A and B are shown apart, each in its own frame.
Chain A
Amino acid sequence: MSRALQSIGRSAIGWLLPALLLVGWEIASRAGVISANVLPAPSAVGAAFWKLLLSGELLENIRISTLRALSGFAVGGAIGFGLGLANGLSALSRGLTDTTIQMIRNIPHLALIPLVILWFGIDEEAKLFLVALGVFFPIYINTLLGIQGVDPQLVEMGRIYGMSRSQLFVRVILPGALPSIFVGLRYALGIMWLTLIVAETISASSGLGYMAMQAREFLLIDVVVLSILIYALLGKLADTLARYLERLCLQWHPAFQNA
């Protein structure tokens, strides 16, 4: 009982500072220390949230942005994971593709935006392409590193006990690579939102980034701040889900056992 309370207390303490900041911000706005056309009061942002929620505009934009993020993630993540596995398991595949991938990696994917607009216009493909490209590298590299880092002594043990190639993969190699794959996953989720924000801000006719840019044109600063906050919340949500999944899959890991 007191233990449960203690753990609630411990997670609550992290929210103390943000709450204080929020209160301070509201007070400063009302006192006129922060001008409303620099940063609107939290209550004004709250009002904008309520209005957009009622009109359905907000949920629709969140839906569109989330869909874009997830589909780009699925495509880039799947390719990155597949190539990471292939290159981790086969020296031939690695020899064939790794150098090329490492070369492409040196191009910041956001630098491709002008080119991508020329190719796809401002259609969905443009966003999908950019997000997929951004997500691909962290997943690819961490899957590859994870597989290369699997303890060769364990692999040898699996062979001694007569595991087939697929048994060896499922029981030894994949679980061994999983901690590293999760690092890649969480990093990729961050990149996913970042890429989407930039892409939607520059070229879109719907979605959260578009909503923010529209609001900027009409000087609706409360909506601009609201979009930024929602981006932050979505990012946090994705990271929390990934952490939860990580905790679930890596129960065996000493790092997750005392929590």
Chain B
Amino acid sequence: MTAATITARQSFTETTARATVTAQERKIAFSFRNVTKRFGDKTVLQGVDLDVHDGQFVAVIGKSGCGKSTLLRLLAGLDKPTSGELVHADETKDQKRTRIMFQEPRLLPWARVGANVDVGLTGIAKGVEVRKKSLDILAEVGLADRSEEWPSVLSGGQRQRVALARALVGHPSILALDEPLGALDALTRIEMQQLLERIWLSKKFTAVLVTHDVAEAVALADRVVVIDSGRIALDLPIPVERPRRHASPELAFFERQILDQLYKQKTP
């Protein structure tokens, strides 16, 4: 049996296990309740209602400027809703345990890779434990031997992996990703998508991924949310088994539906 088939089988069993758990408990990770956000007299989000289950992978899609980043910033507690509320399953713990990853890696250029990952443990761990955890998570993103390098010598994809390691090292329950792969080339991007899926399968956090790439959304997410004019225009489950194959006819079917919604064409 090849290594690929082994991983394939493992993630297959994990997915089925996950599906049963979600079906039984369906514990909510967070809910937006009638959330509205205005900047001055510009309404960016209007009465958004969204319940996301624990461990779910949600992709958020919408045209540029439709309020996707605003939604994530609200989720991460970086902004407050103008009206409505955002409820976390475990208020005190989860608010802290929401991590956000941006399109730019935002690494400290003056800290080595390992020390950048340490930042993710601020207020969570101390001393030798910090370094051990950082090295462990760096190994998981495939950068075990780079912890003593400066970020400036890494490639774009590697920097984004360091940012991912930093976001995950503190075991967040929610990971918000704001177009984290948007600046990468197509091949690195597919690699990163696979890495992200693998880590999500093993760590079981709730993932909210903002992307402008419809193929990426259907390849990764359990559920795709389309935002238009400040409202949720489409909320589409993607019940496709993992591992998924890029550009398979099954995924293409869902991709079509999302594109139709985005460009307002009726599906015949």
Contact = CB atoms under 8 A, between A and B. Distances in A.
A252 B100 CA distance: 25
Contact of B106 (A157, A171, A178): A157
Contacts, number: 49
B152 A257 contact: yes
B109 A252 contact: yes
Interface stretch (B117-125, B186-194, B240-248): B117-125
Contacts of A251: 150
Contacts of A175: 108, 110-111
A135 B195 CA distance: 53
B109 A160 contact: no
B109 A253 contact: yes
Contact of A154 (B96, B108, B122): B108
Nearest to A157: B106
B102 interface: yes
A171 B119 contact: yes
Interface in B217-245: none
Interface in B76-110: 76, 78, 96, 99-100, 102, 104, 106, 108-110
**Main DSSP-derived SS at the B contact region:** loop
26 contacts: A153-B104, A154-B106, A156-B106, A158-B119, A160-B78, A160-B100, A161-B119, A161-B120, A161-B166, A162-B96, A162-B122, A162-B123, A163-B122, A171-B108, A171-B119, A175-B108, A175-B110, A178-B110, A252-B109, A252-B110, A252-B150, A252-B151, A252-B152, A253-B109, A257-B152, A257-B153
Interface of A: 153-154, 156-158, 160-163, 167, 171-172, 175-176, 178, 250-254, 257
Interface of B: 76, 78, 96, 99-100, 102, 104, 106, 108-112, 119-120, 122-123, 150-153, 166
